[in-house]
Chains A and B, each alone.
Chain A
Amino acid sequence: MKLKAMLLAASSVFALALNAQAETITVATVNNGDMIRMQGLMDDFKAKHPDIDVEWVTLEENELRQRVTTDIATKGGQFDVLTIGTYEVPIWGSKGWLVSLNDLPAEYDADDLLPAIREGLTVDGNLYASPFYGESSMIMYRTDLMEKAGLTMPDAPDWSFIKEAAAKMTDKDNEVYGICLRGKAGWGENAAFLTAMSNSFGARWFDMDWRPQFDQQPWKDTLNYYLDLMNNYGPPGASNNGFNENLALFQQGKCGMWIDATVAASFVTNPKDSKVADKVGFALAPNREGIEKRANWLWAWSLAIPAGTKKADAAKTFIDWATNKDYLALVASKEGWANVPPGTRKSLYANPEYAKVPFAKMTLESMNLADPKHPTVDPVPYVGVQFVAIPEFQGIATAIGQQFSAALAGSTSADDALAAAQQIATREMKRAGYGK
């Protein structure tokens, strides 16, 4: 009898110990400011969910994409939460690689998500990723230089105004350049910017039969306008400049205007890093006269769960914590409202405290203007504003980005670059079996 009681007690203790053992989830992420900040706030998560431990794998963006693709395609089960963008979600969601997040708790409040972002992360009615931070693109400009030029930036300028302002702001002797734009080759670098810009010129990547459109007039207008702007009023060596290089130039006071991701606003207005923090204004990305579409894009770094995971419940708990309204309030209480992950929730923009952040209004307007399902003037068969959500896009856009970068460096002409782009896209799309 005594032995039986002891065995029973021992097995109960063992069962309790098993229960008490925390479940560990692995989160794959990129090294962005907001993600790093989240890692510093894990005490809050641990206090609320002592039964879940979180391990981080931080990788370079492209490395992460390859690593996660291998794991997800082979159902390796290495990761329980993935950080992916609006480009991957429609593709991976439709392949059945991601777990639907429709059953997150009611407090998550999916209806509070910004409609454009929610739309971009939903496939066939299933929300496949929860946005951690969202961005569009907009104009960041130097208010002092604009005033000196005798101009006033409208809230919604067109490309002609940008050109006029760039000309007047440029002072090459003092290393001030009217406009800084991405020139570095890459699908997420110059190809993203030029694709968004081309939307505002009435261009599109493909027609409804998936035929590439780089030989059409709107693309010629786009590239020629871009080259004209950059060659006359841009910084030297601009074909090597991506987001980070332009950020450094702007922070050092060398750019009059910079059209890029809205998240840059918090960097350029941070007095710790930026010499021009108190002299920055914001406006919507430009359009061409008579064309409704503007050159602003839409992107959201989002958290998703791969279909291979065995810890989907714990992963959902983590995603709910990291992307709900309470998290935004937590960041605000620790780091101030300017450092809250932007661009995901309506309630954030309705908050009077957040409205005081100088770039909040323009960020929201830019995001609301972007429409990933109808990104262009003419109809297209694809989803995505600054990308085309098909698996082949990364490769094609990087090759085409190299052509555009070469045109900016002066080693090829705009016409030749577009002809090469047309040839590359036609060949790769044919190979992939589109338009049959």
Chain B
Amino acid sequence: MARSISTSRATVTGVVAWTVGFLVFFPILWIVILSFKAEGDAIGTPWHILTSPWITEAYVTVQERSDYFKHFMNSVVISVGSTLLGLLIAIPAAWAMAFAPGKRTKDVLMWMLSTKMMPAAGVLVPIYLIFRDFGLLDTRTGLVAVIMLVNLPIIVWMLYTYFREIPGEILEAARMDGASLREEIVYILTPMAIPGIASTLLLNIILAWNEAFWTLRLTAAKAAPLTAFIASYSSPEGLFYAKLSAASTMAIAPILVMGWFSQKQLVRGLTFGAVK
């Protein structure tokens, strides 16, 4: 018999969930509110901001001044490209670690994760020099490569965790039926791990979309994605909150919409294997 949950407990849980949800979402909501204000109002007190007139001037200005579509396309190419390339490398790697672990597999995994512990600024100059020498500065190819490398440890770790949930016996059965290694990965493992791969894909697209350290430092005019688009609206002398908020809203809107439509897939993937 299923345990019944009392109404009061459900209410409390509901209120707590909505409060936490609202707190997490509040900064984004505030950005959207500010983007519909005049510059003079957007810098005022919260009460002043909420009661001042709602206008779309900031969006008009941003639209006039910047080439949004160019930055948007750069963001799409960099985030999708780096994630797909990362998956291409990470799926075989995670397969090896999950189904054919060696003595040092755990160490390798830890070592991969340890690269995330180093501050990115520590390798800025070497990477900048490599990019300069290979002509990769301000190119989408260069950024796809570097963002892929930045996110690769996370992709491998996520896939490794998902693959571990898949019984090795199924793969063994495929092998006994004469499946080659490639067929085993493509036809057996990958379809079974689709929820996990999908959530890895989505999460890494979001991470790559929001990546601001490398995308700002390795680009100039040609390959600059939406992070650079946002950064161009901060001003040392002159009011800018409304324009900056409008630019931010335009930059996060596509990824927000994508997250909204794929949230079922994301949650399914993130809780994959949680209940046995």
Contacts and interface: CB of A to CB of B under 8 A. Distances in A.
Chain B contact residues, majority secondary structure: loop
B235 A31 contact: yes
B235 A32 contact: yes
Interface in B180-224: 216-217, 220-222, 224
Contacts of A267: 238
Contacts of B40: 248, 251-252, 273
Interface string A60-103: 11010011001101111111000000000000000000000000
B239 interface: yes
B179 to A, nearest CB: 49
B236 A61 contact: yes
B239 A244 contact: yes
A57 B125 CA distance: 20
A191 interface: no
A26 B238 CA distance: 24
Contacts of A213: none
Contacts of B233: 31
Given A56-B221, A70-B124, A251-B40, A32 B232 contact: no
Given A55-B221, A58-B232, A248-B44, A74 B239 contact: no
A65 to B, nearest CB: 11
Contacts of B221: 26, 55-57
Interface in A161-188: 188
Contacts of B235: 30-33, 60, 244
| Band of interface residues on A | 35 or more
A76 B239 contact: no
A357 interface: no
Contacts of A74: 125, 128-129, 132
A74 B234 CA distance: 26
Contacts of A78: 137-138, 220
A429 interface: no
Contacts of B237: 32-33, 243-244, 261, 263-264
B220 A244 contact: no
A151 interface: no
A70 B121 CA distance: 11
Given A70-B128, A74-B129, A248-B43, A79 B216 contact: no
Most chain A CB atoms below 10 A, which of B128, B132, B237: B237
Contacts of B232: 31, 57-60
Contacts of A60: 231-232, 234-236
Contacts of B231: 59-60, 63
A243 B224 contact: no
Interface in A43-64: 55-61, 63
A198 B23 CA distance: 44
Most chain B CB atoms below 10 A, which of A75, A245, A247: A247
Contacts of B240: 31, 244
A312 B217 CA distance: 23
Contacts of B65: 36, 39
Contacts of A338: none
B228 interface: yes
Interface string B222-264: 1010001001111111111000000000000000000000000
11 contacts: A26-B220, A26-B221, A28-B220, A33-B237, A55-B220, A56-B221, A63-B216, A244-B43, A244-B238, A267-B238, A273-B40
Interface of B: 39-40, 43-44, 65, 124-125, 128-129, 131-132, 137-138, 216-217, 220-222, 224, 228, 231-240
Interface of A: 26, 28, 30-33, 36, 39, 55-61, 63, 66-67, 70-71, 73-79, 188, 243-245, 247-248, 251-252, 261, 263-264, 267, 273
In order of increasing CB-CB distance, the 7 nearest A-B pairs are A55-B221, A58-B232, A60-B234, A248-B43, A31-B235, A61-B236, A78-B220
